[in-house]
Homo-oligomer: A and B are copies of this chain.
Amino acid sequence: MSELIPRYRHPDFSRPELVSAPVVRTEPAPADGVVPRNFHGTSNHPEYVHLGGGRWVLAPESRMDSVLIFDGGRLEVVEPRRVKKGQQVVVGRTENGEEGIYVHTDGFVSAEQEATDKFVFRSRGTRETPFSRSYDELYQVLRHDRDHGYIVWVLGPAVAFDQDSRAAMQGLIEAGYCHALLAGNALATHDLEGAYFRTGLGQNIYSQELQPLGHYNHLDILNEVRRAGSIAAAIEQLKIEDGIIYACEKKRVPYVLAGSIRDDGPLPEVIADVYQAQDAMRVHARRATTVMALATQLHSIAFGNMVPSYRIEEDGSVRPVFFYIVDMTEFSADKLANRGSAQAQAILTNVQDFMVNLWNNLKEG
């Protein structure tokens, strides 16, 4: 494992208070989507439960505000709404082992402080916080995880409104830096609008000049894709040959488009049911090793709530999950930090500048 990625240290289960910890308890769910009153709510930190005899099991792919199901010898982190009646739910609200539950918040920091520190921005970044070293490390992380990880991008529509940043994102996808893309109807619509009309919300994406009747363009592209029946069919029929969605289709990079009450259209692929959309996003949250969340408060916070702070690799080793939020305001990052997603690192800048910088640095490999 690269020295970029700090080593993980399991808790010391030989400590007396953990040796004497009871076996974890469970209670059956009283109904579908309802959990026992004393349920244990998970964090996004590594959480262990004691199965007895000193055997502690690490919950895979934990996330915030879910529960632990322990059924048939298998431990799983599940959203309460997905729990089925009768499933055995871990109960107990302590985190120090006294009910057989141990939350390990410092697995990456103790022995490897130096290595870890490298990834920590100033604790309270403001718009004056500089980023040059952070950028250097970000480039290394992305190069590493392109080949040995799973990079998930969460994009707001601003990325598609500028020719250069849109081209940068296309380049990153084509170069293998994106394993999954999460967005809403607007990002995909405006990206396709850019491909077909060279506009974003009716403005030329290069010159930013408003086009005559340009406010129709996003409605027209929505209508065209709906007429074609799918994005893939529309790309072919409309001879679309560039952009973010085009690159995903060409490189078979999966994307999830989650619906929102602001949507026009929507595109046929947009998932109208937000809880089904959460499930589809969760598939990628389980695999993510680095998350790049750009210019979307709603999706960044939603995905931040479902991403673990760690990942268990196939060989059983544990690594951190990096989470970068790129936005103009402190709000999203503060909000995630307040809710426990302490690993979120904020880069406060214009996402279009960010994308262009990033691609300039990564495009030569």
Which chain A residues have a beta carbon within 8 Å of chain B's beta carbons? 30-31, 33-35, 37, 39, 41, 65, 80-81, 93, 117, 121-122, 124, 126-134, 157-158, 161-165, 200, 203, 205-209, 213, 215-216, 219-220, 222-223, 226-227, 258-266, 272-278, 281, 295, 297-299, 301-302, 305, 328-331, 334-335, 337-338, 340, 348-350, 352-354, 356-357, 360
Q: Are A131 and B350 in contact (CB under 8 A)?
A: yes
Contact B302 A130 (CB under 8 A): no
The 3 closest A-B pairs by CB, nearest first: A130-B162, A349-B350, A261-B302
Contact B130 A161 (CB under 8 A): yes
Bound: A244/B273 CA distance, A = 26
25 A–B contact pairs at CB < 8 A? A39-B223, A41-B215, A41-B216, A65-B219, A80-B219, A80-B264, A93-B216, A122-B203, A126-B338, A127-B158, A127-B329, A128-B157, A129-B208, A130-B161, A130-B200, A131-B162, A131-B353, A133-B207, A133-B208, A259-B273, A261-B274, A263-B274, A266-B275, A272-B276, A353-B357
A338 CB to nearest B CB, Å:
6
User: Residues of B contacting A207 with CB < 8 Å?
Assistant: 133
Known pairs A126-B338, A203-B122; A262 contacts B305 (CB<8 A):
yes
Q: Which residues of B contact A158 (CB under 8 A)?
A: 127-128, 130
Name the residue of chain B whose CB is nearest to the CB of A137. B207
Question: How distant is the Cα of A162 from the Cα of B357 in the complex, in angstroms?
Answer: 15
Which of B31, B226, B274, B297 contacts A274 (CB under 8 A)? B274
Taking the full assembly, how many copies of this chain does it contain?
A: 4
A117 and B210 CA atoms in complex are apart in Å by 11
A222's closest neighbor in chain B, by CB? B80
A93 is contacted by which of B208, B213, B276, B278 (Cβ under 8 Å)? B213
Q: Cβ of A260: which chain B residues have Cβ within 8 Å of it?
A: 260-261, 274, 298, 302
Q: For the complex, what is the distance from the CA of A258 to the CA of B157, rounded to whole Å?
A: 22
With A81-B265, A273-B273: A41-B226 Cβ-Cβ less than 8 Å: no
- Report whether A223 and B274 are in contact in the complex, using a CB–CB cutoff of 8 Å: no
Please give, as numbers and ranges, the residues of chain B lying within 8 Å of A349 by CB-CB distance.
Answer: 349-350, 352-353
Query: In the assembly, what is the distance between CA of A128 and CA of B200, in Å?
Result: 11
Q: Do B33 and A328 touch across chains, with their CB atoms under 8 A apart?
A: no
- Report the nearest B residue to A226, measured CB to CB: B34
Asked if A219 meets B272 with Cβ closer than 8 Å, knowing A34-B227, A298-B262, A353-B349, the reply is: no
Given known pairs A164-B132, A331-B126, the reply for A298 and B298 (CB within 8 Å) is: yes
